[in-house]
Each structure stands twice: as structure tokens, then as C-alpha cells.
């Protein structure tokens, strides 16, 4: 199978510390790099992870709080200094253009590449990016400012050819793409050869849902149903459930409930409050609801 890797550069600490960086992730889907949030310190984290800056396809910001976007302008400037020529698209809820366009015009006015800002509607789910291998859509979240998560889903691959069967039935190379697409083969004497005899099933479609920052919001469950891997914020434990509600964040247990109800394959929790020196408190709480839960940590790599 082709690569689908999640690199957590910053685990999403609500308050960055030497132990935890704020929210920044990159997702490698078939060697295309997508960035989710762009916190302060993201450039150093990129270098430590040995991710090539110029492989970046697009940046997706969940919301315009500083711990999710303070690294953006510096990264855009650095890409220009590195000689990037390919245009770069940046997506975020309303306010992106007002806040960043004038800064880009001032600090990146001699940039050799074009920076294109897109304001998304955070209150509804829609496809905002698509190419031959991946589709990315918004996930409406509930926070103190307009906020949306992102669902990255690879597109189905063709069926796998059984080379020995193709040779045995004497099927010409010109028909291989049709057979990969699922068509049967009709031999010159009129015999219909079932596609199942000629191919193996395609690789399963993998997907990743990135949901931070948000209060407990069951309305997202249909949008992320059967997701391969879910990242969901778990800022607080049940002990501080009232504070979670007041600040529009979630508890670890609530993250587990979202994963369970959406039938996620794996849950990654992050965006921890600085009050927790030991995140295992949050891990154990989420695992009581959804056992296949792991903690986000700076530098964590997850291969789907």
C-alpha cells in the first residue's frame, strides 16, 4: 500500500511548554504533504522530523487562535527563502484574509511563489480540496470562535491485476486499465471472464479526522463514520467537565465517546491542559470508553 502517515509535530498543548508544543501536524498521503494547524515552533519541529518543506501541498487551519496559527507567517516566509516556486494554498475560517493578507503583503512581498488564502465556512461540511488521490472536507466544530476540523480521505485505488490470470487468458495490455476499473473480459470467442478471476480487491480506503478545538459535539459523528484514525482534543478530565463546557473544550471521556459512536479504528487524544503533568490520567479515562486510544506526543508518527 502507498504511504498514509501522520506526523504529530506538536501534540496540541493548550499552553506550550518545553515538554509539549502547540498544535501542528502533517499528513503524508501518497507522498503529498498536508499541514494541519501551524503553531509557533512548527519550523523547528519540521526540521527535527526531516520533512521536506517544499513537499507541502496545502495548509489547513482549524481556527484563528494563536496556538494554532502563530507559526504560519514565519513558515510562509521561510518557504520563499528556500526558493519555493509552487503556489501554496492556505485554508481557515473567516478572518484569515483580514488577519494575514496584509502581513503576507509586507513580509512576503518578494516571495518567488504565490500564496493563496481560502476562507472556509466553518459551520457546514463541504469538500474544500481535491486531487487525484485525496479529498479533504471540513468538519463543523463548536468553539469560542468559528472552528472546523478536517477529514482527509484517500480516493479508492484500482483493483490489483492477477498477472498469471491475465497471461493465461491472453488479455491484451490495452485492456488492463479497463480490468483494473472492474470490467469483465470478453474473449474473442465470446466467453465472458469474470473480473474476480482477473483481479484482487483494491487496498482499503484510509481516512484521518482532525478535530480540535471543540466542545463535545455528537453532530460530527455521521461526518466521520468509520474513520480509520480520529484525532480528538481531550483538554480536560471528567474532574474538570464544568470547565470544559465553560471553555468550549472536551474531556477525554467525551473524546472516547465520539470515537466509539463513529466506529473509529483508532483514537489519538491531544490538546492537553497544562494542569496535567501526567497525561495517563486522560488516556485511562478515554480508554474506559474506547480501548484503542493512544496519547499524542511531539514527534509521534502514525502509519495507517
What is the rounded distance in angstroms from the CA atom of residue 4 to the CA atom of residue 27?
Answer: 7
**CB within 8 A of 124, min separation 6: which ones?**
138, 140
**CB within 8 A of 241, min separation 6: which ones?**
251
Is residue 67 part of the annotated active site? The answer reads yes
Which class for 233: exposed (0-12), middle (13-18), buried (19 or more C-beta within 10 A)?
buried
Instruction: Considering only CA atoms, give the Rg of the chain.
Output: 22
What is the rounded distance in angstroms from the CA atom of residue 262 to the CA atom of residue 27?
Answer: 21
Q: Is residue 65 within 8 Å of residue 247, measured between CB atoms?
A: no
Q: Which candidate in 7, 37, 67, 213 is catalytic?
A: 67
Q: Which residues are catalytic?
A: 67
Amino acid at each position: 500500500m502507498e504511504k498514509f502517515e501522520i506526523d504529530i509535530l506538536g501534540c496540541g498543548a493548550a499552553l506550550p511548554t518545553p515538554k509539549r508544543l502547540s498544535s501542528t501536524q502533517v499528513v503524508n498521503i501518497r507522498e503529498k504533504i498536508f499541514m494541519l494547524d501551524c503553531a509557533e515552533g512548527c519550523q523547528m519541529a519540521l526540521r527535527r522530523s526531516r520533512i521536506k518543506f517544499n513537499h507541502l501541498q496545502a495548509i489547513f487551519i482549524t481556527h484563528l487562535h494563536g496556538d494554532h496559527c502563530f507559526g504560519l507567517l514565519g513558515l510562509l516566509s521561510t518557504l520563499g527563502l528556500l526558493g519555493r516556486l509552487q503556489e501554496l494554498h492556505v485554508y481557515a475560517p473567516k478572518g484569515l484574509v483580514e488577519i494575514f493578507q496584509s502581513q503576507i503583503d509586507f513580509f512576503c512581498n518578494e516571495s518567488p511563489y504565490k500564496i493563496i488564502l481560502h476562507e472556509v465556512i466553518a459551520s457546514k461540511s463541504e469538500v474544500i480540496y481535491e486531487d487525484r488521490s485525496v479529498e479533504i472536507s471540513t468538519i463543523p466544530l463548536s468553539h469560542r470562535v468559528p472552528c472546523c476540523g478536517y477529514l482527509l480521505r484517500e480516493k479508492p485505488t484500482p483493483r490489483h491485476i492477477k498477472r498469471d490470470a491475465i497471461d493465461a487468458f491472453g488479455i491484451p495490455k490495452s485492456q488492463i486499465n479497463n480490468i483494473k476499473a472492474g470490467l469483465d473480459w470478453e474473449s474473442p470467442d465470446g466467453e465472458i471472464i469474470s473480473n474476480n478471476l482477473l483481479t484482487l480487491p483494491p487496498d482499503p480506503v484510509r481516512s484521518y479526522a482532525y478535530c480540535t478545538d471543540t466542545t463535545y459535539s455528537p453532530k460530527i459523528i455521521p461526518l466521520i463514520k468509520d474513520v480509520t484514525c480520529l484525532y480528538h482534543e481531550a483538554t480536560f478530565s471528567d474532574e474538570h467537565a464544568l470547565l470544559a463546557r465553560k471553555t468550549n473544550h472536551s474531556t477525554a471521556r467525551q473524546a472516547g465517546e465520539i470515537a466509539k459512536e463513529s466506529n473509529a479504528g483508532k483514537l489519538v487524544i491531544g490538546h492537553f491542559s497544562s494542569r496535567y503533568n501526567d497525561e495517563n490520567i486522560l488516556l485511562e479515562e478515554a480508554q474506559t470508553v474506547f480501548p484503542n486510544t493512544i496519547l499524542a506526543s511531539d514527534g509521534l508518527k502514525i502509519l495507517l
